[in-house]
Amino acid sequence: MDIENRISSRLKELGEYVFHGVQEAKKKALASGKDIIDLAGGNPDLPPHPKIIAALKQAADVPELHRHPIYEGLPELKKAAASWMKRRFGVEVDPESEVLILLGSKEGIAHVSWAFINPGDVALVPDPAYPVFRRGTILAGGKPVLMPLLMENRWLPDFQTISKEELPKAKLLFLNYPNNPTGALADREFLQEAVDFAKESELVVCQDMAYSEITFNGKKSESILTQEGAKENCLEFFSFSKTYGMTGWRLGFVVGNAKLIDALRRVEINVNSGAFHVLQKAAVVALALEDSEIDPVRKTYQERRDILVKGLRDLEWEVKNPKGSIFVWAKIPYDVDSNRMANLLIEQTGIITAPGSGLGPSGEGYLRFSLIEDKDRLEEAVHRMKSLKL
């Protein structure tokens, strides 16, 4: 059998995994015994708060919690998510109908297209961006239409430039602030503009808040649901991975309009069987943490950011100081494309980064550095980059 012939056109359209080239180069570098500083992924190194671990251990001793999960999530966690939305943003959501527990926000973001996209429908996707917005759309048979994020627009999409031909076919509008990869935050004015634009164009807004709590210099992210009319057309996705370091647990939640939540729920119950209740019990404790208990996480990322941004600027890379997220988005100061630059860095310095072009065509010319190694290793990375030869 010709297996290639059996592969769906959707899967073929996805092509290689975005960072395939870098992964291959990493394998080679490791095989040659190089000391690798891996700043490519979004995999936080900070462990969960001890209170979360204690709750996890305690929950693991309860036999009942090992049984088949409730599809939509434990009512206790849905209530905790609703209380957290109220406490953190002043947003009221009904835990029963306006909250859904996810197996990581990636899973919900990938499946949201299945709920709304028919073959040929369009999803508006930021460029550069977390690849799942685009790839989830393709897997559902839809067409991603890219919205360039440019430095001169503070990394916010310009809705006026979206093709007039494509806009009537669009059903979803993906946004992500605090932004991966640029580190930008969205202000209230932009969020209101997005809600209004989506209303006019009959779009469902999917705002990805995976980095909602990782913001710097005392700035806070805003929930899109604080904006007028947002409850009519918005979904907001949250993650336990970044703020709480629970990355391997695969846990997230989505809040927003009850009918939109219900549509996603109908997809979810057909492809997933709910998140492990033991993890959900511990997640309740995570959401009850005081903001001051999350401060050390923010402080750690901010200190790392400061080291890397200063180091790169000293080496004449153009870098905007990220206001949030765990990434530094840096413009390559040489006449080489981002794949070549990432490979040169691996070969000459053992530093692994994400080439910007892997995050979308507008990412060409940039590298993304993740703040997932400690300060000494980041100092070491900057030091090694001084000897880079092109």
Ligand X SMILES: Cc1ncc(COP(=O)(O)O)c(C=O)c1O
d(CA 390, CA 388): 7
Asked if 104 interacts with ligand X (CB under 6 A), we say yes
Q: Residue 237 Cβ, how far from ligand X at the closest point, in Å?
A: 7
Total residues at the site for ligand X (CB under 6 A)? Answer: 13
Q: Cα–chain-centroid distance for residue 218? A: 21
Asked if 252 interacts with ligand X (CB under 6 A), we say yes
- The binding track of 185-214 with respect to ligand X, each residue x by CB under 6 A or -, is -----------------------x-x----
Q: Which amino acid is at 249?
A: W
For ligand X, the binding residue among 113, 137, 180, 338 (CB under 6 A) is 180
Q: Residue 206 Cβ, how far from ligand X at the closest point, in Å?
A: 11
Q: Residue 209 Cβ, how far from ligand X at the closest point, in Å?
A: 8
What 3-state class would DSSP assign to 14? Answer: helix
Q: Cite the beta strand spans of the chain per DSSP E.
A: 37-38, 99-102, 122-127, 143-148, 170-176, 204-208, 234-239, 252-256, 318-319, 327-331, 351-352, 354-355, 366-370
Q: Residue 254 Cβ, how far from ligand X at the closest point, in Å?
A: 11
Q: Which is nearer to ligand X, 245 or 365 (CB)?
A: 245
Asked if 221 interacts with ligand X (CB under 6 A), we say no
d(CA 213, CA 178): 9
For ligand X, the binding residue among 207, 241, 300, 362 (CB under 6 A) is 241
d(CA 277, CA 74): 7
For ligand X, the binding residue among 21, 42, 144, 360 (CB under 6 A) is 42
Q: Which is nearer to ligand X, 247 or 338 (CB)?
A: 247
Which stretch, 22-30, 194-202, 239-247, 277-285, contacts ligand X (CB under 6 A)?
Answer: 239-247
Asked if 301 interacts with ligand X (CB under 6 A), we say no
Tell me which residues in 120-139 interact with ligand X (CB under 6 A). Answer: 130
Which of 74, 110, 100 shows the shortest CA–CA distance to 252? 100
What 3-state class would DSSP assign to 3? Answer: helix
Q: Distance of CA 122 to CAs 190, 195, 366, Å?
A: 22, 18, 27
d(CA 137, CA 145): 10
For ligand X, the binding residue among 73, 110, 124, 176 (CB under 6 A) is 176
Q: Residue 252 Cβ, how far from ligand X at the closest point, in Å?
A: 4
Asked if 215 interacts with ligand X (CB under 6 A), we say no
d(CA 175, CA 178): 9
Which stretch, 99-107, 114-122, 166-174, 227-235, contacts ligand X (CB under 6 A)?
Answer: 99-107
d(CA 141, CA 122): 9
The DSSP code for 129 is: -
Q: Distance of CA 155 to CAs 54, 102, 120, 367, Å?
A: 40, 28, 28, 15
Q: Which is nearer to ligand X, 239 or 353 (CB)?
A: 239
Asked if 233 interacts with ligand X (CB under 6 A), we say no
Q: Residue 176 Cβ, how far from ligand X at the closest point, in Å?
A: 5
Neighbouring-strand partners of residue 147:
126
Q: Cα–chain-centroid distance for residue 137? A: 16
Q: Residue 243 Cβ, how far from ligand X at the closest point, in Å?
A: 10
Which stretch, 12-20, 98-106, 288-296, 305-313, contacts ligand X (CB under 6 A)?
Answer: 98-106
Q: Residue 389 Cβ, how far from ligand X at the closest point, in Å?
A: 32
Q: Which amino acid is at 309?
A: V
For ligand X, the binding residue among 26, 49, 78, 106 (CB under 6 A) is 106
The alpha-carbon radius of gyration of the chain (Å, integer) is 21
Q: Cα–chain-centroid distance for residue 312? A: 24
At residue 209's C-alpha, the angle toward residues 101 and 262, to 5°, is 35
Asked if 353 interacts with ligand X (CB under 6 A), we say no
Which stretch, 44-52, 82-90, 103-111, 351-359, contacts ligand X (CB under 6 A)?
Answer: 103-111
Which stretch, 101-109, 117-125, 143-151, 212-220, contacts ligand X (CB under 6 A)?
Answer: 101-109
The DSSP code for 320 is: P
Query: Rule CB under 6 A: which residues touch ligand X?
Result: 42, 104-106, 130, 176, 180, 208, 210, 239, 241, 247, 252
